[in-house]
Amino acid sequence: MPLTLLPLPAAEVLLNPDFLAPADAAHYLTDLNAAIAWRQEPIRLFGKEVLQPRLTAWHGDEGAAYQYSGLRLSPAPWTPALQALRQRVEQAAGTSFNSVLLNLYRSGQDSMGWHADDEPELGPEPVIASVSIGSARRFRLRPRPGVGPAHPPLTLELPGGSLLIMRGLTQRNWQHAVPKTAQAVGPRLNLTFRHVIS
Ligand SMILES: O=C(O)CCC(=O)C(=O)O
Ligand SMILES: [Fe+2]
Q: What is the CATH number of the domain that holds 21?
A: 2.60.120.590
pLDDT digits (tens, 9 = 90+) for 80-123: 999 999 999 999 999 999 999 999 999 999 999 999 999 998 99
**Which residues, in sequence order, are bridge partners of residue 128?**
166
The mean pLDDT value for 142-164 works out to 97
Per-residue pLDDT averaged across 150-166, rounded?
98
Give the pTM: 0.95
Q: Does any ligand 1 atom lie closer than 6 A to the CB of residue 61?
A: no
48-51 and 42-45 beta bridge pairing? antiparallel
Pocket of ligand 1 contains residue 104 by CB under 6 Å: no
- 178 CA to middle of ligand 2, Å? 9
Ligand 1: atom nearest CA of 117 is 10
The pLDDT of residue 51 is above 70: yes
Statement: residue 69 has pLDDT above 80? no
Averaged pLDDT of the chain: 94
- With a 6 Å cutoff on the Cβ, whether 192 touches ligand 1 is yes
- Domain of residue 88 covers 4-194
The answer on pLDDT for 50 being more than 70 is yes
- Per DSSP, the residues of 121-134 read GG-SS--EEEEEEE
Query: Best substitution site from 112, 135, 163 to test ligand 1's pocket, by max atoms within 8 Å of Cβ?
Result: 112
> Ligand 1 pocket test: which of 176, 180, 193 has the largest number of ligand atoms within 8 Å of its C-beta?
176
As a whole number, mean pLDDT of residues 27-34 equals 95
Residue 63: left (phi > 0), alpha (psi -120 to 50), or beta? Answer: left
What percent of the chain stands above pLDDT 90?
87
Q: How far is CA 161 from CA 23, 38, 135, in A?
A: 10, 21, 9
Contact 28, 81 (CB under 8 A): yes
Give me the number of domains the chain comprises.
Answer: 1
